[in-house]
Amino acid sequence: MTSWLALALAGGLGAMARYLVSYALPVPYGTLAVNVSGAFALGLLGDNFVLGTGFVGAYTTFSTWMLETDRLSRNAAIFNIMGSLVLGLAAAGLGITFRGAG
């Protein structure tokens, strides 16, 4: 039961953090910042289930990313998709590197 409560608390904190970050920046940069920093955090956390699934799972967003991409012009949408993928993979790799260095 304790792990379920920890997961719920981590998810709630992740959702609040996402709200604060994503609304501090204009669309689509808030979502980009959330997803890239979330990819870094997930790489850094490794297999920590509570923080990875709870916090990062609630913090990051695929559906908002796709909704915002749909609303952008064609060129901006392509940039949003490619930029998110490249930056996200780089951030995850950086997180894994930092985890291994510690």
Residue 3, pLDDT > 80, answer: yes
Hey, what are 33's tokens?
A: 């910042």
Please tell me whether 53 is known to bind a ligand.
Answer: no
What integer best gives the mean pLDDT of the chain? 96
In this predicted model, what pLDDT tens digit does every residue of 41-76 receive, in sequence order? 999 999 999 999 999 999 999 999 999 999 999 999
Task: Specify the pLDDT at position 40.
Answer: 98
Q: What is the DSSP string of 19-57?
A: HHHHTTS-TTHHHHHHHHHHHHHHHHHTT-HIIIIIIIH
57 is in an annotated binding site: yes
Largest Cα–Cα distance of the chain, in whole Å?
Answer: 48
Structural domain spans, the chain: 2-101
Q: What is the pTM of this model?
A: 0.94
Cβ atoms within 10 Å of 40's Cβ, excluding its own: 21
